[in-house]
Structure 1
Amino acid sequence: MKHQQHSYYLPVSNYQLHIRRLLPLAEPKGSVLMLHGAIENGRIFYSSSGKGLGCYLADHGFAVYCADFAGRGRSLPHSSSGFDHSQQQLICQDIPALLQHVQQLHQQPVHIISHSWGGVLAAASLSRHPELLSQVRSKVCFGTKRKIHRRSLEKRLKIDLIWNQLGSWLARKHGYFPARRWRLGGDDEPRQFLADCIHWIQSDDFVDCSDGFDYGAAAQQVSWPPLWHFVAERDRVLGHPADVQAFITEAGQHQTKLTHLGLAAGALLDYDHISMLTHPKAMNDHFPQLVQWLSELCRAP
C-alpha cells in the first residue's frame, strides 16, 4: 500500500459525517471526493487492506476523501438510532459541505467520483448550487441513473417488490430501512431518504420532493466540468446503459465520455453494478485509464 489512511469527522448541522482520508506518500497531484450510492457507504471505494478505487487513486498520487452520508457507515448518529435525514438535506447541506471542505484543504478544484445514486445527488447539488461548480475539476459516475425505464423480472423483484414495497414497510416499522439486517445492501437508510429515493425512481420529473425545485431544468443551464460515465455490461437493473444514457440527457451532460465495461467493448470482464469498483481485474482495466485522465486534467491550465 503506497498511501496512508485515517478517519475523522466533519460536523454538519446536528450530525457528523465520517470521512476516510487516503493520502499518498508524496505530495498529491490532485484531490478526489468520493460519494457512494444508496444502501451502501464509503467502503464501496476503499478497504483497510488497500483494495478499491479510492486506494488505487491514492497509490497513484491523489488525496482521496471517501465520505459516509449522514446516518450511514461511521457517520454519527446512525440511522438505526432513530436519526432521520432527507434527500434534500444531503443535496443542500452534506455535499456542499464536503466539497467545500476538500477544496479548502487543498486550495484547488476537486474531482468528484460517485457510484450509482451518489452521481444523481451530486448532479442535483451542483445544479441547485451552481456557485459550487468553480470548486469542481471533473465529475465521474459509475452506474448512475435516476429512473429505471426497462421492465424485467429482475426489476420487479429488486426494485418493485424489495426496494419499494418491503423497504418502505420495514422503514415504517423500524423508523429506518434495516437493509444490512435483511442482507439487502451494504448499509441501512434513513426513512425519509428512502421515501425520497423511491419517489424519484418512480417519477418522470426530476424535482425536489420537499419544495419542488426543478433539478432537470436547472441542470440544463449548467456548464458542466469534464464528465465521464461508466456503465457495466452485466448491470441490467441498477445502472442499465439505457437508463444511464437517459440520466445523461436529463441532466444536460451531453459532452460526457461514456465507457461500457464489458468484453465486447474491450474490457477484461463483463462487470456488474458492484464489481466495476471492486473486482481485482479493474486495477488492470479501467482504473489506469481513469488515473491517466484525471492526471491530465490536473496538469491542464
Structure 2
Amino acid sequence: MQSSSNLFPVALISAERRGDLSEDVYRLKPGNSRDWSVEIAVTRLGMADEAVPRGVPVILLHGSFSNRRFWFSPKGLGLGAHLARLGFDVWIAEMRGHGLSQRNEDYRHNCVADYARYDLPAIAAFVREQSGQIPHWVGHSLGGITLAAALGGEYLGEPAVASAAFFGTQVSRTYWPLKIPPVEWGGRFILKRFAQLSGSRLKRGPEDEPIGLAIESMRWYGLFGRFGDKDKDWWAGLADVQVPVLAVSAAGDHQDPVWACRKLFDQIGSEHKQFINLGREQGFSDNFGHVEMLVSKAAQAEVWPLVARWLNDQQTPLLARKADLAAAG
C-alpha cells in the first residue's frame, strides 16, 4: 500500500462514517526508535458531509489503561466528537500496544521516555503534514505526563505545539515506602518478573500497561528520583516551556490530587497559563473525579465548553471570577 505520508510509512487502515462524523484511522511506522516494530494508530475525526477545509488541529492523548474510546465512544460521544462537531480537526493517538496500535516487540519495556522522545514527535510531524497547521495538545493523566515529559525534555517545542492542556496530571505525589531504597529495589525486582499490568484485573480500564511504565515511575518517586531519564531532567526543563498552558484538576480526584496538579502547573514557565480546579467551591455542579472530569454528563455541560474556549483563545481567562483561577499574560 502506498504511504499516506512523505515522512515515514503510514497506512490508512480504515475510513468509516460514524453517524454525522468521519473516522479515518492511520497506522504510523516512524522507525525513529531502537524498536523498529513500533506502530502508532492515530484516528482523525471530522464531519462526514463537510466539504470545506478542516479547522484547527487538536491532538488528544489518553491516560493509563485506556485507548481512543476515552475520547470518542462507538456511539459518537465524547470530547473528541464534540470538538469535531465544533469544526476542530481532531486527532486521537493511541500509545504503543493500546487500542489499534500493535504491541511492539519490546512491549514490556515501553515507557514514558520512549513515548515522549520518539512517538509524540512523530505524531506531531504527521499531523502538521496533513493539516498544514501547528496542533494543540490535550492530555489526560498519563497522556498529560507524557506531554509534560516531551515539553520538559525539549522533544516537542513551539514548532510542534500551539498550546498544551493537562487534565489530572501530576508527578509530585509522594509514596513514602519508595523513599526507602531496599523497598524500591525489591519492588523493581518483583515487577521485572511480569510483562504487563492488567487493566481488567486491577479494575483500572480496558487496556494493559507495560511493566516498563511501572518501573520507570518507581525511579521517579524513589529517594533520589526525579521526573526525567538518565539524559534529561524533564522537571527542570518545564521551567523553560513558553507555549500557552491550561492545567485542570478535579476536587474529587484522589489519584492525582489538586495540590500535586498545581505543583506541575507552577513549575511551567509559560507567561500564558491558567489553572482550573473542578469542584463545588469553584462554582461547578460537583467535585469531579479523575475520569468524570472529562467523561460524564456534567463534564459535557461544564468542562467541554471550557476546552473549546481554550482552543479558540488562550489569552482570555476562562473563569475570570473563580478564586482559584491563575492566569498570566
Q: Fold-level match, TM-score > 0.5?
A: yes
Distance 1:6 1:212, change over 3 A: same
TM-score, normalised to structure 1, is: 0.83
- Does residue 172 (structure 1) correspond to residue 189 (structure 2)? The answer is no
Which structure has more helix as a fraction of its residues? 1
Cα distance in 2 between the residues matched to 1:282 and 1:82 = 33
Cα distance in 1 between the residues matched to 2:197 and 2:188 = 7
Q: Which residue of 1 aligns with 2:211?
A: 191
Distance 1:83 1:271, change over 3 A: same
**Offset from partner CA, 1:206-261 (integer Å, 9 cap, x none):** 3433x2411122222232x111111111102x221100011122343564211111
Q: Which residue of 2 aligns with 1:24?
A: 47
Q: What is the identity percentage for the equivalent residue pairs of Structure 1 and Structure 2?
A: 23
Q: Which residue of 2 aligns with 1:119?
A: 144
1:27-38 to 2 correspondence within 5 Å?
27-38=53-64
The more displaced of 110-119 and 81-90 is 81-90
Q: Which residue of 2 aligns with 1:252?
A: 269
Gap runs ≥5 in structure 2: 1-18, 178-183, 316-329
Q: Which residue of 2 aligns with 1:275?
A: 292
Q: Which residue identity is paired with 2:269?
A: G
Q: Which residue identity is paired with 1:134?
A: P
**Offset from partner CA, 1:99-123 (integer Å, 9 cap, x none):** 1111111111101000012212212
CA-based RMSD: 2.8
The more displaced of 81-90 and 64-73 is 81-90
Q: Secondary structure at the match of 2:206?
A: coil
- Does residue 222 (structure 1) correspond to residue 245 (structure 2)? The answer is no
Cα distance in 2 between the residues matched to 1:64 and 1:119 = 17
Q: Which residue of 1 aligns with 2:12?
A: none
TM-score, normalised to structure 2, is: 0.77
Gap runs ≥5 in structure 1: 157-163
Distance 1:62 1:208, change over 3 A: same
Partners of 2:240 and 2:268 within 8 A in 1: no
Distance 1:134 1:261, change over 3 A: same
Q: Which residue of 2 aligns with 1:10?
A: 28
- How many aligned residue pairs are there? 283
The more displaced of 140-149 and 171-180 is 171-180
Partners of 2:116 and 2:155 within 8 A in 1: no
Distance 1:131 1:175, change over 3 A: closer
Q: Which residue of 2 aligns with 1:161?
A: none
Q: Which residue of 1 aligns with 2:157?
A: 132
Q: Which residue identity is paired with 1:23?
A: G
